[in-house]
A and B are shown apart, each in its own frame.
Chain A
Amino acid sequence: MKPSPVLDTSERRITLAGLLPGLPRVLVVAAAAGLVLGAVLGARRGDDFRYFFHSYLTSYCFYLGISLGALFFVAALHATRAGWGVSVRRLGEIFAAGIGVLAVLFLPILLPMLVPVLRGRSSLYAWAGPEGIGEGGALLDLRFKAAYLTVPFFALRALGYFAVWWLLARFFLKHSTDQDATGDPGLTIRMERWSGPALVTLGVTGTLAAFDWLMSLDAGWHSTIFGLYFYSGAVVAAFAALILAAMGLQAAGRLTTAITAEHYHDLGKLLFSAVVFWGYMAFSQLLLIWYANIPEETQWYRRRLSGPWGWVALAVLLGNLLIPFFGLLSREVKRRKPLLAFWAAWLLVFHWIDLWWLVMPDLGSGDLMADPGSGGLPPGLIDACLWVGVGCAYLAGVCYAAAGRALVPLRDPRLEEAMTFENT
């Protein structure tokens, strides 16, 4: 039996203090540079910013997924009264708190739809244009969609989602940091009591947000499981990001006693299960549509499985499921930092490709894959700019949430259990 480890609570060990002092400023500058450069390059394509906005939505959903997945993780830890996860819970709370910046970053998607001059010229959503939901309005579900997919209602819903997410993220972060000061175990009970409703709310809002922002790119298509498809990928990304963040902080001398191989082992297990769950969702969606073979459903897959997009689909399947399944299967992989870091980074990359494959085929005219370098630009340059731009903005928000806070719940009643925890 090992003696109970003692948490080193000196400021340099448990906060971001002294770590790259100029980091927030660098992040803000990089974010602005990435977004501006992306917009300039997007304008050069001369496609009414269509590529720019689709790529922006891809990267936006990537970071939104990390934030929502982290919020899910925090709520799930409370709902299950998990002892082991206390060491890494604060990181999840901080990642979730980045939702504030993401709400601001949603404005470029929303505002053009609201500006009267631009009405009918949304570069993303055809239904917001003058033609509305389009042909086939006689079909029942399209009539419903026509009522659902209106610009004011869309904006109202987005406002609602962000309000709910911000409140939840704020609730968990605030109660948890309050406990650092007071040590009141009643706060833990309060968070546990609200974690169940929080999970349900996250499930509903996450599903509807995925419907609104990703599925409505093609308003003629629908899949009820699509929300879970998005959310399961988001949880994969969140665990991968948490693992990398924890390793980065430990490399910088933070949380060295709080997080051990046991925690990486469990995070790795959760990452693995999220990978499998994503595969389950992705296949469930494909199987039903493939089997029923209804044109209005299959057209969505037809666009994504034929031609060059078919190769991207193959990469999504291999990179998000088959290869990491065997890569993460072994216990040793989850306990060795370099190996786990490799798979976490791998899954982040392929999760982004998954979102790219969801969004980009709906770019429509001038098929992207047939003409990847349109406007004399190397393919992927706009995507890279926006990935960096949105990412740095989000990370700046995360750093802001982390500033002045301990990176581990100092006086959580289960902290000692978490630090002595062992996988048998």
Chain B
Amino acid sequence: MTETKPTTDDAGPPPPLAGLLAEFAGPEALVAAAEKVRDAGYRRWDAHSPYPVHGIERAMGIRPTLLPWLVLGAGVAGAAVALLLQWWTNAVDYPVISSAKPLFSLPANIPIAFELIVLFSAFAAFGGALVLSRLPQFWHPVFSAERFRRATTDAFFLSIEATDPQFDLAGTGQLLASLGATAVEACHEPAAGRKVPRALYVALAVAALLAVLPPLWIARARATTSEKPRIHPIQDMDFQPRYQSQAASPLFADGRAMRPNVAGAIAVGQLDADDHFYRGQLGGKWATTFPIPVTREAVERGRQRFNVYCAPCHGLAAEGDGMIARRAAERITGEQPGFATWVAPRSLHTPAVVEQPVGQVFNTITNGLNTMPAYAAQIPVEDRWKIVLYERALQRSQKARLEDVPEAYRSQLK
């Protein structure tokens, strides 16, 4: 049954033998034959069918592919690359806080990691399948056989390559024939040899050259100067539609682009509901008690803040003789113009001040009085209360009785 057709004229010797191609009647015969060829110990051989034949892998003795492990590795690598890239760019190389999020935060990084897992896995699956299947392959022994064209329509083939260590023309041919092949044909090397077509090299070289052009063009643009304005492909980040302050807008009934706060809206944390603490009032009257714990630390803090904010006018002992008051008093005696409106700072030991409830003193610091400015903007609420506390301590010190002094120190005063 072996028919070896000469593929060339008698003019020259035929090209060397490349392998044997056997045709089988159907998928069952192909699977049965594949089992025998596998058992005969052949290594470089293949089965060809128009559609996937179940069980052919087992019949051919093909071991499970390595591909899943490659894809898994690529996926893990994709996750690692994505996380490292985002960590390096966001947290190390160019740290910018965005939306009050941490510089490196996993939730924000997972979408990129997911995409790179998919991308790397897909590349590994595609490239790995090509490489493991030894593709692209420009020539195969079976291509020389005319009948092989039917392998994609209705014929079933088994091919054994001549490079297989077990291959010998007579013995292998006999084996294939004995397996029930309807035809066995010898395949020859192509007359032109197994060369890759020259046109392919040219096409690859052209593609590589073209691929180099855009980066070269960008490099040149970056290294040189130009009179022309730069190309600005994505506009909306730089030129966003927006209103200037005080501009008019047809969108709102009052025609103003700047929007006032919504009535009754209060920013988070700015409710300031505690009347005692924030306004020094209790039930509509000035508070006579402190909303903060009265401690030694609070008095110390109050003294420090008093010396910073109050003492320049009121004096370190609150007698109305601070540096500014003394200097002003000197100037006013010289009758310079411009000092006519000067009101001397008050001594805080006058009965009118001493008798004020602490809430009223707090209110004076907060909102100012006469020529004294408001200090709400400079001094936090709690510090204002501590200043009031210290002020009370100063007043007390001016009217101290012997009983106020601790017993151990009283003898020193006598």
A complexed with B: yes
Which A residues are within 8 Å of any B CB, using their own CB?
A: 1-2, 283, 286-287, 290-291, 293, 295, 329-331, 422, 424
Specify the chain A residue showing the minimal Cβ separation from B100: A293
Of A286, A293, A295, A330, the residue contacting B99 (CB under 8 A) is A293
A2 and B55 within 8 A (CB): yes
A331 and B68 within 8 A (CB): yes
Residues of B within 8 A of A291 (CB): 99, 101, 107-108
A291 to B111, CA, bound (A): 12
Q: A318 to chain B: closest CB distance in Å? A: 14
Q: B370 to chain A: closest CB distance in Å? A: 43
Q: A281 to chain B: closest CB distance in Å? A: 13
- Complex interface residues of chain B between 19 and 58 (CB less than 8 A to chain A): 27-28, 31, 52-55
Bin chain B's interface residue count.
10 to 19
Does B110 make an interface contact (CB < 8 A)? yes
Does B344 make an interface contact (CB < 8 A)? no
Once A1-B27, A293-B99, A293-B100 are accepted as A-B contacts, the answer to whether A287 and B54 lie under 8 Å apart by CB is no
A422 and B107 within 8 A (CB): no
A295 to B110, CA, bound (A): 23
Residues of A within 8 A of B107 (CB): 283, 286-287, 290-291
- What are the interface flags for B253-278 relative to A under an 8 Å C-beta threshold, 1 for contact and 0 otherwise? 00000000000000010000000000
- The number of residue pairs between A and B whose CB atoms lie closer than 8 Å in the complex comes to 30
**29 A-B contacts, Cβ less than 8 Å apart?**
A1-B27, A1-B28, A1-B31, A1-B53, A1-B54, A1-B55, A2-B54, A2-B55, A283-B107, A283-B110, A286-B107, A287-B107, A287-B108, A287-B110, A287-B111, A290-B107, A291-B99, A291-B101, A291-B107, A291-B108, A293-B99, A293-B100, A295-B268, A330-B68, A331-B68, A422-B54, A422-B55, A424-B52, A424-B54
Residues of B within 8 A of A424 (CB): 52, 54
A294 to B28, CA, bound (A): 66
- Complex interface residues of chain B between 183 and 223 (CB less than 8 A to chain A): none
Residues of B within 8 A of A422 (CB): 54-55
Residues of B within 8 A of A293 (CB): 99-100
Does B394 make an interface contact (CB < 8 A)? no
Q: B220 to chain A: closest CB distance in Å? A: 40
Does B379 make an interface contact (CB < 8 A)? no
Residues of A within 8 A of B54 (CB): 1-2, 422, 424
Residues of A within 8 A of B100 (CB): 293
Does B348 make an interface contact (CB < 8 A)? no
A133 to B110, CA, bound (A): 35
Residues of A within 8 A of B101 (CB): 291
Does B72 make an interface contact (CB < 8 A)? yes
Q: A165 to chain B: closest CB distance in Å? A: 33
Residues of B within 8 A of A295 (CB): 268
Beyond the given pairs A1-B55, A287-B108, 19 more chain A to chain B contacts, judged by CB atoms under 8 angstroms and listed by A's residue number, are A1-B28, A1-B31, A1-B53, A2-B54, A2-B55, A283-B107, A283-B110, A286-B107, A287-B110, A287-B111, A290-B107, A291-B99, A291-B101, A291-B108, A293-B99, A295-B268, A331-B68, A422-B54, A424-B52
Residues of B within 8 A of A286 (CB): 107
Residues of A within 8 A of B52 (CB): 424
Residues of B within 8 A of A330 (CB): 68
- Complex interface residues of chain B between 49 and 75 (CB less than 8 A to chain A): 52-55, 68, 72
A329 and B111 within 8 A (CB): no
Residues of A within 8 A of B99 (CB): 291, 293
Residues of A within 8 A of B108 (CB): 287, 291
Specify the chain B residue showing the minimal Cβ separation from A332: B64
Residues of A within 8 A of B111 (CB): 287
A24 to B146, CA, bound (A): 68
A331 to B111, CA, bound (A): 27
